[in-house]
Amino acid sequence: MSAPTLVIGEALVDIVSTGAKATRNGKPKTTPGGSPANVAVGLARLGVPTQLVTRFGTDPYGDQLGAHLFGNGVQLSPGSVEPGFRTSTATATLDAAGVASYEFDITWEPPSLSLSRGCPAVHTGSIATVLEPGATAIREFLKSLADQPVTVTLDPNARPTITPDPVATWAAVRELAALSDLVKLSDEDCEFLQPGQSPESIAVELLSAPRTQCVVITRGGEGALGISRNGRIDVTAPKIEVVDTVGAGDSFMAALIAGLNAQGLLGETRLAGLTSQSLESVVDYAVKAAAITCTRHGADPPTAAEHTATWGA
């Protein structure tokens, strides 16, 4: 069995509180979430061995998280479950179109970070990369990977309610992006972090860092844009009936990593063999994974079998 991909970041419980779709027996639904945890589950469901470094408690929300992660085959790093720790939550409010906005109750301080022999990729992002004291720990860990044969991927997944200052947040994103081989952003991230700038110009700026090889920008129902050192690709999204968008970006990220893994582009190659054709194939795979998630409630990424059954091989 190959060494697992390492995912670092928050695991929490989403409390979906608005609308008839978001209630169960008149009460808000509670579902396991947290962007990095969602990515870990998405990877495991797509057949990629995955280990998650996170932190949650043994309270009822923590029990729900643990059952979800273990049930989907995600390995937990030592120290990720801490008795007496209060498990973090995110209250998700859905608008009429099923698009979610979030308010967070979160504490983030990860257990010790280390790289296992043969680990092909390290992924991080979201609140974990900006909320102290964990943000500093992640930044220093990524710096330690500069000479390691591992691919680093980043999804800032900007949360204005956590970091309302876009200038300071962009500075932090730039620093982490320079330590990453691939950066994924949404068009909403771009608008918050660099208002008035085009996604293309943001991608070019991030690609000016020597290590960064590729930037992928999702555009909701319009698909995604990928820009690498070898060119640019555009992928359109399939037409679907949206239930909600919770976890769609995380499903996209997981499928992006899984697709790169399937093409042998992770690990010591650090995307060196990434062509425009292979990037288009991987981004198309990721767009279709996100589309499946949008057709059902909550952060529910597809399995490899569901992806194939829906869209073909």
pLDDT in tens, 99-113: 777 789 999 999 999
* Pick from 222, 282, 293, 226: nearest CA to 255: 282
Q: Are strands 5-8 and 121-125 parallel, antiparallel or unpaired?
A: parallel
pLDDT band at 68 (very low <50, low <70, confident <90, very high): very high
Region 180-201: mean pLDDT is 96
Give the max Cα distance, the chain.
53
Q: Per-residue pLDDT for 22 more than 50?
A: no
Give per-residue pLDDT as tens, 118-160: 999 999 999 999 999 999 999 999 999 999 999 999 999 999 9
Region 69-73: mean pLDDT is 97
pLDDT of amino acid 18: 56
Q: Which CATH class is domain 5-311?
A: alpha beta
**What residue ranges in 26-113 does DSSP mark as E strands?**
27-33, 50-53, 75-76, 89-94, 100-105
Count of C-beta atoms within a 10 Å radius of residue 223: 18
Q: What is the pTM of this model?
A: 0.94
Q: Per-residue pLDDT for 210 more than 70?
A: yes
* Sequence spans of domains, the chain: 5-311
- Which of 93-102, 254-263, 282-291 is least confident? 93-102
